[in-house]
A and B are shown apart, each in its own frame.
Chain A
Amino acid sequence: MAPPAQTNRSPSPSQPSGKGEVSDLKMQLRQLAGSRAPGTDDAKRELFKKVISCMTIGIDVSSVFSEMVMCSATSDIVLKKMCYLYVGNYAKHNPDLALLTINFLQRDCKDEDPMIRGLALRSLCSLRVTNLVEYLVGPLGAGLKDSNSYVRTVAAMGVLKLYHISESTCMDADFPATLKHLMLNDREAQVVANCLCALQEIWGLEATKSEEASTERETLLSKPLIYYLLNRFKEFSEWAQCAVLDLVSKYVPSDSNEIFDMMNLLEDRLQHANGAVVLATIKLFLQLTLSMADIHQQVYERIKAPLLTLVSSGGPEQSYAVLSHLHLLVMRAPYIFSADYKHFYCQYNEPFYVKKLKLEMLTAVANESNTYEIVTELCEYAANVDIPMARESIRAVGKIALQQYDVNAIVDRLLQFLEMEKDHVTAETLVLVKDLLRKYPQWSHDCIAVVGNISSKNVQEPKAKAALIWMLGEYAQDMPDAPYVLESLIENWEEEHSAEVRSCSALALSEKEMEEPVRLHLLTAVVKCFFRRPPETQKALGAALAAGVNDFHQDVHDRALLYYRLLQYNVSIAERVVNPPKQAVSVFADTQSNEIKDRIFDEFNSLSVVYQKPSYMFTDKEHRGPFAFSEEIGNISLGEESTGNVVPAQRIEANDKDLLLSTSDKEESKGSIHNSSAYSAPGYDGSLAAPSQTDLVSLDYKPTPNVPSATFAIDDLLGLGLPAAASPPPPPPVLKLNTKAALEPNAFQQKWRQLPISISQETSINPQGVAIMTSPQTLIHHMQGHSIHCIASGGQAPNFKFFFYAQKAEEPSTYLVECVVNASSCKVQLKIKADDQSTSQAFSELFQSALSKFGFS
């Protein structure tokens, strides 16, 4: 092929000036259209280039359409390609003109050169003009049967394009069936891959309309097809491998041998340089082993090194994508990564979004052995000149303190932050000290001494101000000048107020919202202070109430009025209302519910992980992909545990998931124990030695995890024949339970899904009981003695989760209980569902009375 003419080429072809040039181009093209003179092709190339370059920068060159088509009668493939590109871009909006191109495209589809055939077919299918689809069917059919694999790969994609232009034409021509045939028989792997992608999309979209398509969609996940694809796996390009791995991760193997075969086959993919392949493999491994706790944990161990390598090789962008996934895994199983904390140290030149992920990981992996070093490192960041980073680091230190590790030393560090005298550091630290005091009131003495020295003038940020004010109110007796500081803050009430009125722009609006809690806090703090030191505070109180009652904000006004009337009515009652004795906060609410987290985990290796949101929150319904959950979920609020009687769809599903995980455990466990040696990859050996304490999900029904006993398991499941069950229940309140209650796991799942939560509450468990609760078994046996049976359990110390059920003695009315035990705080969260709602309270009492005896028996 001759190089393009160098003579009259403008130095930068992609900077045309505009309209005049377009009409100029039109004229020149017209002159060349019929010319057969030598060198015409070169001249055409130059013109075509100019047209394409206009198109790229957004100048509308659709007016030269007919000239372009006229010029396209050529054998020069470079010209053809430019022409195809042009036509593809403008055909959609010029359907009449597009008709002009059909002729030469159809002719090219029959060209001798397979390259031309492929190109023409691709362009033909890319026209996106509805009334031209009739011209597509013939060439597509021929293309799918073409002897050349390039044409077939193009044709396979062409079918998908046709489907998007006209579903009915595509289905009527029975193209999906042809694709399926090709997928199973073509010798060229890329053809197979394209057929797979096309079919996944087509059947995914059709499935909502026809039963047949939905069955076809299921067959994509059938064993023969999955095995067929896996057997040809090495033939696929790395990108097609990603598609196959994604499909396989949705396949449910029938037994553990299958699982190990797959994992052994794909083990080497973890060493691939392409992060997309590695993540797709990891997703598959995680999904496959979900029900095999010990192997699942080995997978975590195995994937650690490849993930870390991917994070540090490649560009910063890929590294971020991988890091987001590592972040997800660290958050799920921090203890597995606790020795690797140094990998999560931040580098000074990393962008903030990377540092933020790393800080969260550092916070998560902190434990007794590494807290000192992690906090030392975080303190370095806190002194950083980069202010957002400094703030995040201080928050991280605070979070670690709230996790109960080595609080003493951390409190000292936090107090040192206050002495740094940087406003942003002080502000963040105050908020944290406040939270710490709510959890560990015993530190108040040390903290208050330092906080008392802070001048309220240096604290400007609303959150920090609110925190400081809260402490002034709460610890008024320990801070000598608390009333006077509050008084001076109240004096500024009006200033703040007027400052807000002045700035009414949209931007300032958010500031206004922020100030409102400050004033609310101020009111409460002054009242609290008044109870402790009435003479000193009286003046401030009067001022605060007056300002509050006159406040234009409704909440502030109402609260001031409430306090005023309470105080008027009876001071001691007011104190009981405003400042009752507080219990230390044991667990701060998590920002993300477990259901959401599980959903994101299910969507591993997708944007959900990067955004930290499940896909329904950011993707339109029609783009959710063929196998995504199809339910529309509207009414979930992030981070809030719904306790109402209506169970949102998503909750049901998530509950299902929990159950699935633990009940399928039972089915798999036998296999996993016998077969774990079958998976011989490095790092998976010695699995049985893993201590059961650190299992992600431990199996609940075996007295010792190493003795598989199928019969015993079944007995337990059915609640039959266990000696413990025979012992008479202690004097129960009215309700009598059937000692031999029986419920199938499936029935349980179904009921759990259908029934609303009738009672949801928190209770506590006897610490002595906790002491003996080294494994979930002990509690299960105890409850069984009270005719309450366990159907599934899981978790690792200190958090255990149980699903119990019980039945009324006389009638087949069932109670279902989800019971989450936190052994370290001795707290128990209960959710009770019942066939007969009216007796659920009685059952709840019975359940709690049984629970309260745990540890004494």
Chain B
Amino acid sequence: MISQFFVLSQRGDSIVFRDYRGDVPKGSAEIFFRKVKFWKEDGGEEAPPVFNVDGVNYFHVKVVGLLFVATSRTNLSPSLVLELLQRIARVIKDYLGVLNEDSLRKNFVLVYELLDEVVDFGYVQTTSTEILKSYIFNEPIMIDAGRLPPLGPAAMFMQGSKRMPGTAITKSVVANEPGGRKREEIFVDIIEKISITFSSSGYILTSEIDGTIQMKSYLTGNPEIRLALNEDLGIGRAGGRSAYDYGGSAGSGAVVLDDCNFHESVQLDSFDVDRTLTLVPPDGEFPVMNYRITQEFKPPFRINTLIEEAGSLKAEVILKIRAEFPSDITANTILVQMPLPAYTSRVSFELEPGTVGQTTDFKESNKRLEWSLKKVVGGSDHTLRAKLTFSQESHGNITKEAGPVSMTFTIPMHNPSRLQVKYLQIAKKSKTYNPYRWVRYVTQANSYVARI
């Protein structure tokens, strides 16, 4: 059982603080914050999510820059506590619409109300947004979401894509719409985080897709929903083959998941037959299904790096990225980074003539090159030339002192796995009942690395 729960701001102030058992001294929040801020143990500079100070165990997760913390004196399951902290954040977000320091401060009474019902004397009672509704009496005070960095994977829909109603993700499950009537709608997001490592010759060393089907329902009366996926979807790799077998299965054939797991509301009765998931979605945001794929897929970007030495104190780095997805799709917020040799003193950049929406930077403190691109249209090429000046002579092989090149990006309406929601069926209550359904796809880079 947990002893305390608290939320700290980035500066270490308690925004909410709830003591459930009174067996951990009051100063725990300060002890925790100091430990996390000045972490220096085991060679790392980042505090692990769980640590022990003087017999008190501290668990924490970071959500939108806030620290959600639990303390305990007992030897609990770390998974349970960390999962709980994440769920508390999610429940709060469901109620407040937007989760950030400002909304928490404005609604801390409501948050206390939630915390009272979620945990009693350190034992979890419920984390279901739905069940909690009957215990919550405060109304959320909405904050202006326009300027705020939104939370969670669904946030990526905010940029670039006009098809999405931007208000959806900042809507509270309890607050009424300005018009007094709730809009009947349901969101299904297929979010895929991809990891690829390219060898220096461009060959794919490892690749993985970590996918989630995320759902957020604003349907009244909790109708049953049927979600149909690709009919030929396979689960589990064939026994004899290694998990990384790139033998010619690309382009054609079925989507094969290595493994997947499901939210507890999901009925799998017909899943084995026709790949349909049946569920009565609870209120709030939740993952219907998580999946993992190591089957080969087409990488959305190719990265080429060329390093040319020009005398003993100079070198030129040429970075080229090629977008290998259809031209009707646009990736956004692309960032390419590359560590440069530690003795690099100056970098001058040269972009292709006529480019817009691209910026370059040399981060002096960690000797890192940064190239950011607002948008990249499918099928296009982009090149950056960087001239490096060194403060001392290089030891010969610059490639050993620099790299690898890493990339982050978001590609809306594209998913490399080709997993699809074929249809989304809502049990009808009446002829006129026709709620809005939004099925959205998005791809994000998790670890996208090219060695040089």
Contacts and interface: CB of A to CB of B under 8 A. Distances in A.
Contact of B50 (A339, A348, A607): A607
Interface in B38-62: 42-46, 48-50, 52, 55, 57, 60-62
A95 interface: no
Given A53-B108, A383-B400, A619-B73, A313 B210 contact: yes
A607 B121 contact: no
A393 interface: no
A160 B127 CA distance: 21
A528 interface: no
Given A271-B260, A279-B79, A348-B404, A157 B121 contact: yes
Contact of B77 (A49, A82, A160, A280): A280
Contact of B73 (A3, A316, A347, A620): A620
A273 B22 contact: no
Interface in A178-232: 190, 194, 197
A190 B126 contact: yes
B42 A52 contact: no
B77 A190 contact: no
B86 interface: yes
Interface stretch (A319-327, A431-439, A514-522, A541-549): A319-327
Interface string B97-120: 000000001101100110010001
Nearest to A52: B109
Nearest to B49: A317
Contacts of A624: 74-75
B274 interface: no
Interface in A289-328: 305-306, 308-310, 312-318, 320-322, 324-325
Contact of A380 (B137, B261, B451): B451
Contact of B292 (A52, A153, A309): A309
Interface string B401-417: 11010100000000000
B24 to A, nearest CB: 11
Given A242-B80, A342-B206, A383-B400, A321 B125 contact: no
Given A81-B116, A272-B262, A315-B61, A620 B342 contact: no
Given A306-B259, A308-B292, A242 B109 contact: no
A339 B243 contact: yes
A3 B78 contact: no
A607 B125 contact: no
Nearest to B18: A85
Interface stretch (A98-106, A134-142, A349-357, A719-727): A349-357
B80 A276 contact: yes
Contact of B19 (A48, A89, A273, A625): A89
Contacts, number: 253
B418 interface: no
B13 to A, nearest CB: 6
Given A52-B112, A347-B195, A349-B406, A618 B52 contact: yes
A196 B49 CA distance: 29
Contact of A310 (B55, B124, B138, B261): B261
Interface in A791-818: none
B82 interface: yes
Given A56-B16, A342-B243, A313 B86 contact: no
A352 to B, nearest CB: 3
B339 interface: yes
B447 A348 contact: yes
Contacts of B290: 273, 309, 313-314
Given A157-B121, A351-B46, A352-B44, A77 B126 contact: no
A732 B120 CA distance: 70
Given A78-B137, A309-B292, A383-B400, A279 B75 contact: no
Contacts of B210: 312-313
B285 to A, nearest CB: 13
Nearest to B111: A56
Contacts of B48: 320, 351, 353, 610
B427 interface: no
B263 interface: yes
Interface stretch (A384-392, A458-466, A478-486, A839-847): A384-392
B361 interface: no
Contact of B108 (A52, A161, A314, A610): A52
B348 interface: no
Contacts of B167: none
A356 B76 contact: no
Interface string A332-350: 0000000110110101111
B77 A276 contact: yes
A356 B48 CA distance: 12
A605 B82 CA distance: 12
Nearest to B17: A56
Given A1-B139, A315-B61, A618 B197 contact: no
A606 B261 contact: no
B447 A347 contact: yes
Given A309-B258, A313-B261, A348 B449 contact: yes
B156 interface: no
Contacts of A276: 77, 79-80, 83-84
Contact of B400 (A322, A420, A609): A420
Nearest to A2: B139
A625 B449 contact: no
A52 B138 CA distance: 14
Given A81-B112, A606-B77, 15 more contacts: A4-B141, A194-B120, A197-B123, A239-B80, A242-B80, A317-B62, A317-B82, A318-B82, A348-B404, A352-B43, A356-B43, A385-B402, A606-B76, A619-B55, A619-B75
Interface of B: 1, 13-17, 19, 21-22, 42-46, 48-50, 52, 55, 57, 60-62, 73-80, 82-86, 105-106, 108-109, 112-113, 116, 120-121, 123-128, 135, 137-139, 141, 195, 197, 205-206, 208, 210, 212, 236, 242-244, 258-264, 287, 289-292, 339, 342, 367, 395, 400-402, 404, 406, 446-447, 449, 451
10 contacts: A4-B139, A81-B137, A197-B123, A239-B80, A275-B79, A276-B83, A314-B290, A317-B82, A352-B46, A606-B75
The 7 closest A-B pairs by CB, nearest first: A347-B447, A352-B44, A313-B290, A276-B80, A305-B259, A317-B49, A239-B124
